Structure 1
Amino acid sequence: MGQVAFDTQEFVEKLENSGLNREQAKAITLVVRESHEVADLATKRDLEDTRKDIDARFDKTDAKIADVRKDMEHRFEKVEVQIADVRKDMTNRFEQIDKRLDFSEKRFDRLELKFDRLQWFLIAGIITLLFKDVIPKLWGG
């Protein structure tokens, strides 16, 4: 940080003009000068430089955040497209499964009809076997 200019000669003169002797004025001036040297005071210029540094850092940070936002938006768009593709694929697969189920259901319906017919043929065959001796007698034979 910059040092504030301190004119010791002028300060001594002011102290002497206010009634102090030269030795007292020099002693006070020495103490004041030393306190200025050890004091870590910020000047207006120091504060302005710091403000500019902070502003520059915020500008860089804002730019980085904007870049991250753009990147995230791009990635989200890609993910949304991928999700839409997966949905289309799932819809197609479900439609194919529905068609297969419909086809299988029709096959089962046809098989059920065949089994119903077979059942009646078996019943008719069993009845014929059970009553094979009785049937000719019923017809007079």
Structure 2
Amino acid sequence: MATITFDTLKFVEKLKAGGIPDEQAKAISEAFRDASGEADLVSKKDLQIELAPIRADINLIKWMLGILLGGVLTLILKAFFPL
């Protein structure tokens, strides 16, 4: 699981610069830190692991479709160019 670094001091300073009182800025910063700390983040590796079976299925479907189209094309050519 990936982690996010959050600079609460910088966040509080930006809030105070925007006109929010000191205590309120600290409370907002703590609430945001707590809320973002509970988020489950997905890494690129997690996605690759989860999507591997789907990619395999798509690859199989491509092969099956190619074989099917080859068969249909063969039947069409045989109908127009009989031997």
TM-score, length-scaled by structure 1: 0.34
TM-score, length-scaled by structure 2: 0.55
Code of the residue aligned with 1:51 in structure 2: it is L
CA distance change for structure 1 residues 55 and 24 in 2, over 3 Å: closer, same or farther? closer
Structure 1 position 53 matched with structure 2 position 49: yes
Q: Counterpart in 1 of 2:5?
A: 5
Higher percent of residues as helix = 1
- CA-based RMSD: 2.3
Please identify the structure whose Cα radius of gyration is greater.
1
Matches within 5 A, 1:1-141: 1-42=1-42, 46=43, 48-54=44-50
Which of the pair has the greater relative contact order for Cα pairs under 8 Å at 6+ separation?
2
CA distance change for structure 1 residues 20 and 40 in 2, over 3 Å: closer, same or farther? same
Give 3-state SS (helix, strand or coil) of 2:4's partner. Answer: coil
Q: In structure 2, list runs of 5 or more residues that go unmatched.
A: 58-83
Stretches of 4+ aligned residues off by more than 6 angstroms: none
